[in-house]
C-alpha cells in the first residue's frame, strides 16, 4: 500500500508540474505564430512566438535559439482614404486590402456624406461592421465643400457635433475650407471646436499653403495634411508640428516629392492612398509605399513606424503593435527585400493568406440619391462670343490644375472641341436637380474620339464628362443618368458602363469583378487616345473646387485660387457658358 501511495503521489506531482503546459497546448483558444518579431515600439527585432488568445496577444515568447525565415510586423494602416474612391463598399474594400497587409484605415466618408448626408455615413458604418477589418471613420466638416456647387446634403456645426460625440467617429475629417480657417469663419471654427471638445484630432487639406497662412491654419487646431505636393510644403508643416501624410493614390502621387521628410521628420510622417481605384487596389496598397521607402534606403524601423505606429498614436486607434495585451493585428512577410505579404491577421483571425482574401462577402443593400434628367445635344453647345476662353489644364499624377487661355476652335458660330490641340469640352451636370449643364474646356486628356463620363466627381458627385464631340458627350452623360450612377464611355455606336448603384459612387458587386470592369474601361479610355495614367480618376478631380487652380462645378468655372466663379470667356463680365 505504501509503494502504491508513493507512486500515486509521484504521478500527481508530475501531473501538476506539467499541467500548465498541457493546458496551453491543448486549449484550442491559444494559437501560436512564430517568426522574427519586429517590435516597432522598442525598435528591435527578435525571434519569437506570439501566443494569441481570443483577439489579443496573450504573451510573447522569445526564442533565442531558433532561426526563423519570416518576419512578423504590425498590420499596415492607410492614414487617410476615401473608401468610396475604390468604387467598393467597405466590406469589399477590406477583402482586397487585407491581401496587401492592410488591417485598418482612417476613412473619411466625405464622398457619400455629400450625396446622402448622415444616412450615407450610417451606411458606411453598418457595412464596415460586418467584416473583420478596422475602419475608423471621421466626421466630414465640408459637406458641401463650397457654396459654389450643388450637393445632396449639408452638415452644419450641430450635425458635426452629433457625429463627433459618437465613440465610433474618431476624428474631424479634412477641413477643406482653408480660407475659412485662416479668416476664422465662425461656422468653420465651431466645427473645429467640437473636435477639441471631444478631444479628437482634426485633419487638414491645404494644397500649396505656405508661410504665415499655413501657421494660421495649423494654429486653429489642424494637425495633418495629405495634400502636400511640394517638398517645401511638407517641410514647413513638419517644422510647425503638423503630421505630413505622404500620399500615393491612383491620380495623386507625392512620394517622390516628399520622401526625404521620412529621414528628417520620422515621427511626423504617415502613409496614405487618399483615392485608390479598384484595379490599383488589386495590385497593392500601403505595402507599395513601404517597399518604395525601403528601396530608397530609409531605416526599416522608421518606415514601418510611418505605416503603423505613427497613425495608431496620432488617431488613438485600437490597432495592435505587437505588444503583450495588444489586439492581435499583424502581418507575416518573407523578408524586407521582397516584402511579400504571406499572411494577414486582424484581432487574431487569419484574414488573408498567400495572396488570397479569407473575408467572406456580405449582402450589399443599395442606397442612392439621383434625380438628374437626361440631356440633349443642344445642352452642350457653346456660342462663340469672340476672344479667348479660360481652359482647365489637367496635370497627370496630380489633382491640381493650371489655368490656360486659348482661342477656341469655332464652327458655324459655336466653340467646339479641338482634339488636334487637345482642347476638349468638359461638362458638369447637376445630379440632384434639373438644371442646365455647365460646359467649359479642358486640356491634356488626350482623347482623339469619343467621350468618358462619371458620377464620381469630387466633391459633390454631380456627373462630369469630357468628350471630342457633342454626340458622344451626351451619350456618355445620359448613360450615367439612366443607370443612376456609374462610369461610362461612348464612341459612336459603342457604349460601355461600370454601374455604381450605391450613391452613384460604389458598386454592389464583388471587388475583383469591379476591378476587372474598371480596368476594361480604363483601357478603352486610353484606346480613345488618353495618355493619362488614370483618366477616370483625373476626370473626377476636375470638379474638385477646393484644389487650385481652376475647376468646373455644376454652376460654372471656378477660380480655386481666389475662390470665386469666373466666366468661360476671358475678360468678359458675367458667368456662364455663352
Per-residue pLDDT tens over the stretch 191-240: 999 999 999 999 999 999 999 999 999 999 999 999 999 999 999 999 99
- pLDDT band of residue 140 (cuts 50, 70, 90) is very high
> What class is the 75-318 domain?
alpha beta
Q: Helices 211-219 and 231-239 meet at what angle, rounded to 10?
A: 50
Mean pLDDT (whole number) for 114-124: 98
Crossing angle of helices 186-197 and 157-164, rounded to 10°: 10
Residue 145 pLDDT class (50, 70, 90 cuts): confident
Per-residue pLDDT tens for 6-65? 333 333 333 333 322 222 333 457 999 999 999 999 999 999 999 999 999 999 999 988
| pLDDT (0 to 100) of residue 381 | 97
Inter-residue long-range contacts of 212-216, CB under 8 Å, 24+ positions, other chains counted:
213/178, 213/182, 214/240, 215/240, 216/181, 216/182
Where do the structural domains in the chain lie, given as residue ranges? 75-318, 377-566
Q: Quote the DSSP letter at residue 330.
A: E
51 membership: H or E segment, kind and range: strand 44-53
Task: Compute how many other C-beta atoms are within 10 angstroms of the C-beta atom of residue 551.
Answer: 29
**Average confidence (pLDDT) over 168-193:** 95
Beta bridge partners of 385: none
C-alpha cell at 430: 447637376
Write down the pLDDT at residue 573. 63
Q: Reduce the DSSP state of residue 405 to 3 states and report it.
A: strand
Task: Spell out where 273-417 has E strands.
Answer: 330-333, 341-346, 349-353, 356-357, 382-383, 389-394, 401-406, 409-411, 414-416
What band does 398 get if pLDDT is binned at 50, 70 and 90? confident
Q: Please spell the DSSP secondary structure of 167-185, one letter per residue.
A: TTEEEEEEE--HHHHHTT-
Q: How far apart are CA 54 and CA 29, in angstroms?
A: 6
Alpha carbons 304 and 347: distance in angstroms, whole number: 19
- Averaged confidence pLDDT in the chain: 93
Amino acid at each position: 500500500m505504501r509503494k502504491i501511495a508513493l507512486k500515486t503521489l509521484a504521478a500527481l506531482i508530475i501531473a501538476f508540474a506539467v499541467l500548465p503546459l498541457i493546458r496551453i497546448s491543448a486549449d484550442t483558444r491559444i494559437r501560436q505564430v512564430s517568426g522574427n518579431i519586429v517590435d516597432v515600439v522598442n525598435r528591435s527585432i527578435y525571434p519569437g512566438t506570439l501566443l494569441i488568445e481570443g483577439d489579443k496577444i496573450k504573451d510573447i515568447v522569445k526564442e533565442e535559439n531558433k532561426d526563423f525565415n519570416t518576419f512578423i510586423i504590425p498590420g499596415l494602416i492607410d492614414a487617410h482614404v476615401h473608401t468610396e474612391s475604390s468604387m467598393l463598399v467597405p466590406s469589399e474594400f477590406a477583402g482586397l486590402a487585407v491581401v496587401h497587409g492592410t488591417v485598418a484605415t482612417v476613412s473619411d466618408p466625405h464622398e457619400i456624406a455629400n450625396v446622402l448626408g448622415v444616412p450615407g455615413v450610417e451606411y458606411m458604418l453598418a457595412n464596415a461592421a460586418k467584416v473583420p477589418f478596422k475602419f475608423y471613420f471621421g466626421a466630414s466638416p465640408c459637406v458641401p465643400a463650397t457654396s459654389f456647387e450643388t450637393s445632396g446634403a449639408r452638415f452644419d456645426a450641430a450635425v458635426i457635433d452629433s457625429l463627433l460625440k459618437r465613440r465610433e467617429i474618431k476624428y474631424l475629417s479634412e477641413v477643406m475650407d482653408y480660407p475659412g480657417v485662416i479668416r476664422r469663419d465662425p461656422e468653420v471654427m465651431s466645427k473645429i471646436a467640437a473636435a477639441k471638445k471631444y478631444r479628437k484630432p482634426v485633419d487638414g487639406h491645404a494644397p500649396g499653403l505656405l508661410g504665415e497662412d499655413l501657421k494660421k491654419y495649423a494654429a486653429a487646431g489642424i494637425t495633418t495634411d495629405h495634400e502636400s505636393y511640394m517638398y517645401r510644403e511638407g517641410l514647413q508643416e513638419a517644422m510647425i508640428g503638423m503630421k505630413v501624410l505622404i500620399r500615393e493614390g491612383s491620380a495623386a502621387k507625392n512620394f517622390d516629392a516628399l520622401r526625404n521628410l521620412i529621414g528628417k521628420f520620422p515621427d511626423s510622417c504617415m502613409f496614405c492612398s487618399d483615392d485608390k481605384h479598384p484595379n490599383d487596389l488589386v495590385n497593392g496598397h500601403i505595402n507599395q509605399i513601404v517597399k518604395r521607402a525601403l528601396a530608397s534606403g530609409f531605416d526599416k524601423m522608421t518606415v514601418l513606424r510611418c505605416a503603423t505606429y505613427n497613425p495608431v498614436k496620432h488617431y488613438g486607434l485600437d490597432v495592435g503593435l505587437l505588444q503583450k495585451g495588444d489586439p492581435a493585428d499583424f502581418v507575416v512577410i518573407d523578408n524586407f527585400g521582397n516584402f511579400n505579404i504571406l499572411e494577414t491577421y486582424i484581432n487574431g483571425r487569419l484574414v488573408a493568406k498567400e495572396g488570397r482574401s479569407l473575408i467572406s462577402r456580405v449582402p450589399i443593400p443599395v442606397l442612392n440619391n439621383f434625380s438628374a434628367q437626361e440631356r440633349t445635344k443642344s445642352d452642350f453647345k457653346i456660342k462663340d462670343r469672340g476672344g479667348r476662353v479660360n481652359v482647365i489644364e489637367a496635370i497627370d499624377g496630380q489633382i491640381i490644375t493650371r489655368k490656360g487661355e486659348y482661342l477656341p476652335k469655332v464652327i458655324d458660330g459655336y466653340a467646339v472641341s479641338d482634339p488636334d490641340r487637345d482642347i476638349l469640352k468638359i461638362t458638369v451636370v447637376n445630379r440632384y436637380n434639373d438644371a442646365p449643364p455647365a460646359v467649359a474646356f479642358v486640356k491634356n486628356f488626350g482623347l482623339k474620339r469619343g467621350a468618358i463620363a462619371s458620377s464620381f466627381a469630387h466633391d459633390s458627385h454631380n456627373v462630369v464628362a469630357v468628350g471630342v464631340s457633342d454626340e458622344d458627350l451626351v451619350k456618355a452623360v445620359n448613360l450615367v443618368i439612366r443607370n443612376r450612377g456609374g462610369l461610362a464611355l461612348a464612341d459612336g455606336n459603342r457604349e460601355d458602363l461600370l454601374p455604381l448603384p450605391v450613391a452613384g459612387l460604389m458598386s454592389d458587386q464583388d471587388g475583383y469583378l469591379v476591378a476587372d470592369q474598371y480596368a476594361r474601361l480604363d483601357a478603352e479610355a486610353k484606346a480613345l487616345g488618353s495618355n493619362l495614367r488614370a483618366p477616370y480618376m483625373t476626370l473626377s478631380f476636375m470638379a474638385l473646387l477646393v484644389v487650385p487652380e481652376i475647376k468646373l462645378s455644376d454652376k460654372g468655372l471656378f477660380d480655386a485660387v481666389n475662390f470665386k466663379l469666373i466666366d468661360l470667356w476671358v475678360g468678359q463680365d458675367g458667368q456662364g457658358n455663352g
